[in-house]
Each structure stands twice: as C-alpha cells, then as structure tokens.
Chains A and B, each alone.
Chain A
Amino acid sequence: ETGVTQTPRHLVMGMTNKKSLKCEQHLGHNAMYWYKQSAKKPLELMFVYNFKEQTENNSVPSRFSPECPNSSHLFLHLHTLQPEDSALYLCASSQDSGTYLAKNIQYFGAGTRLSVL
C-alpha cells in the first residue's frame, strides 16, 4: 500500500462515452501527477499539479481533461477517446514537484487499465 489509491482498477469504454478516473492520496503531499503507460513505451508524463495548480501539460489532447479540486484528489475526465488511448494510467504524488528537492520522490498508485473499444 503506497498511500495513493486509484479507481477504478479497470475500465472499458466506447469511443463516445464519458468517464472519469479518480486518484486519492493520504500522504499529505502537495504535488500530483498523471502518467500514461503504453506497452513497450516509457512512462509518459501527462499533467502535473502543485498546490492544486496545473504546472505541466505535456501536449496532451483535449479529450483528456484533468481536475484537481484539492491537494488530495486528482481526476482525469475522458471523452471521445480513441482506441490508441488504451493504456495503463498511473497517478502519483510527491511532497513537492520542485526539480532539485528530495521531496519529489513520487509514490504511485496501482493504475487504471483502460480499454477503448
């Protein structure tokens, strides 16, 4: 148990559906991240939130919409996805998102396995 919980663990959706992924951390961290992991590819950073403010949007298509209502919760809203969006979506948190600090060791959730049909 890493202290970062993601729900659901598995999600199957059609291309016209709207769904949301949820991430919750109980570690008192200020930074939260969304990553995409596709088969045989490195982890891809999607979004970074620090103190509820988005600090990084890594050229992610607008069909992915993040929301961070507070430092403990992070959502990823999905709509009109494509089959190539099928992947493992991982949430992580760290005490801070600053580059030079040891405080940004990231703790990962178990991920949501998304299949887009």
Chain B
Amino acid sequence: KNEVEQSPQNLTAQEGEFITINCSYSVGISALHWLQQHPGGGIVSLFMLSSGKKKHGRLIATINIQEKHSSLHITASHPRDSAVYICAVQPNTGNQFYFGTGTSLTVIP
C-alpha cells in the first residue's frame, strides 16, 4: 500500500470549472508538497504546506494535519492547467519523500 493516495487518478474539466484534487497520507509528516508535472516530464513545485492554507494565483492548497488530508483547488481552470498533479510528503523521520501516483488533469476549451 502506498503511503500517499491521490484522487481522482484522472480528471477532465471544462474551461472555467472549479477543480479539486485530493491527497491522503498515512504517516506523520513535517510537510506536504504539491507538484505539477508537464507533458514531457518537467516537474515544478507549486506549494509546500505544514498547516492551514496557501494561495498562489488561481491555485489554493489546504492541509488538515489531524485528518492527514490535503486538497489542491484550481479556480477558473484553463487548458494550460492540463498537467499531472503530484502530492508528496516529507515524513517526520528520515530523508525519504513519499509520492502519490499523480492526478492527470485535462481542461477542455
């Protein structure tokens, strides 16, 4: 069983829709990261969270440490948001990162 589970695995949305991607994890963590992987492979770090909520442009990330759950929201989605979104956690001990399998998002014009 993977320490990090994401849902949904695949998501198709119409341009302008509000999108939510969920991440649940099973270990105690010091931080959680949301990453965006573009077609072709390159990965960009979107957020690092240890509590509460962060906002950057149309992207909002929240985390509930007690429930071991995080969500990534995209408001007014756009075709350029089409990518794979990956949740990763830093456990409290060790240097390992645990990664989810990713959510593949396609936004249709």
Residues of A within 8 A of B (CB): 2, 37, 40-43, 45, 48, 55-56, 58, 88, 90, 92, 97-100, 102, 104-111, 113
Complex: A45 Cα to B40 Cα, angstroms? 19
When C-beta atoms are compared, the residue in chain B nearest to A89 turns out to be: B41
When C-beta atoms are compared, the residue in chain A nearest to B6 turns out to be: A42
Q: Determine the chain A residues whose CB is within 8 A of the CB of B44 once the complex forms.
A: 2, 108
| Pairwise interchain contact B42-A110, C-beta atoms closer than 8 A | yes
| Pairwise interchain contact A99-B41, C-beta atoms closer than 8 A | no
| Pairwise interchain contact B48-A105, C-beta atoms closer than 8 A | yes
| Pairwise interchain contact A2-B95, C-beta atoms closer than 8 A | no
Out of B31, B43, B95, which one reaches A108, CB within 8 Å? B43
Q: Determine the chain B residues whose CB is within 8 A of the CB of A102 once the complex forms.
A: 31, 48
| Pairwise interchain contact A109-B42, C-beta atoms closer than 8 A | yes
Kindly state whether residue B14 has any CB partner on chain A within 8 Å: no
Q: Determine the chain A residues whose CB is within 8 A of the CB of B18 once the complex forms.
A: none
Q: Determine the chain B residues whose CB is within 8 A of the CB of A55 once the complex forms.
A: 95
Complex: A90 Cα to B96 Cα, angstroms? 16
**Shortest CB–CB separation between residue B39 and chain A, in angstroms?**
11
Q: Determine the chain A residues whose CB is within 8 A of the CB of B92 once the complex forms.
A: 99
9 smallest CB-CB distances across A and B, nearest first, come from A111-B41, A108-B43, A110-B42, A42-B99, A43-B99, A110-B41, A42-B101, A88-B41, A105-B45
Complex: A90 Cα to B88 Cα, angstroms? 15
Kindly state whether residue B94 has any CB partner on chain A within 8 Å: yes
**Shortest CB–CB separation between residue A42 and chain B, in angstroms?**
4
When C-beta atoms are compared, the residue in chain A nearest to B41 turns out to be: A111
13 pairs, CB–CB < 8 Å, chain A vs chain B: A37-B41, A41-B101, A42-B99, A42-B100, A45-B96, A45-B97, A58-B96, A88-B41, A92-B43, A99-B90, A99-B91, A105-B48, A111-B40
